[in-house]
Chains A and B, each alone.
Chain A
Amino acid sequence: MKVTVLIPGVLRNATDGAAHLDVDVPDPATLGAALDVLADTYPALDRRLRDEQSTLRRYVNFYVNGEECRRLSGPATPLSAGAEIQILPSVAGG
Chain B
Amino acid sequence: MTVVVAIGTRKGLWLARSEDRVTWQVDGPHHAMQEVYAVAFDSREGLRLMAGVSSPHFGPGVSISDDLGATWEESSTPPIAFPVDDAALERVWQLQPAPASQPGVVYAGTQPSALFRSSDGGRSFEFVEGLWNHPHRPEWEAGFGGQAVHTIVPDPVDPDRMLVAMSTGGVYRTADGGKSWEARNKGIKAYFFPDPWPEFGQCVHKVAQHPALASRFYAQNHHGVYRSDDGGDTWQSIAEGLPTDFGFAMVVHPHDPDTIFTFPIEADGRRFPPEGKCRVYRSRDAGSSWEALGEGLPDAFWTAVMRDAMCTDDAAVPGVYFGSRSGEVYASPDEGDTWHQVAAHLPDVMSVRATVIPT
Which residues of A pack against B, CB within 8 Å? 11, 14, 43-44, 47-49, 51-53, 55, 57, 59-60, 89-90, 92-93
Contacts and interface: CB of A to CB of B under 8 A. Distances in A.
A42 B238 CA distance: 53
Interface string B79-102: 001100101110000000000000
B109 to A, nearest CB: 17
B85 A47 contact: no
Interface size class of B (residues with CB under 8 A): 10 to 19
Contacts, number: 45
Given A53-B85, A53-B88, A60 B78 contact: no
Given A57-B57, A59-B56, A92-B57, A43 B77 contact: yes
**Majority secondary structure, B binding face:** loop
B88 A59 contact: no
Contact of A55 (B61, B76, B81, B88): B88
Contacts of B59: 47-48, 51, 57
A60 B76 CA distance: 18
Interface of B: 33, 55-59, 61, 76-78, 81-82, 85, 87-89
Contacts of A51: 59, 88-89
22 contacts: A14-B76, A43-B77, A47-B78, A48-B55, A48-B59, A49-B58, A51-B59, A51-B89, A52-B81, A52-B88, A53-B85, A53-B88, A57-B57, A57-B58, A57-B59, A59-B56, A60-B57, A60-B58, A89-B57, A90-B57, A92-B57, A93-B57
Contacts of B56: 59, 92-93
B82 A93 contact: no
Contacts of B89: 51-52
Closest 4 CB pairs of A and B: A48-B58, A44-B76, A52-B81, A51-B88
B216 to A, nearest CB: 38
Given A57-B58, A60-B58, A92-B57, A47 B76 contact: yes
A52 B125 CA distance: 14
A25 B65 CA distance: 37
Most buried by B among A43, A52, A53: A52
B57 A47 contact: no
Contact of B77 (A11, A47, A57, A92): A47
Contacts of B88: 51-53, 55
A78 B57 CA distance: 24
Nearest to B78: A47
A53 B83 CA distance: 9
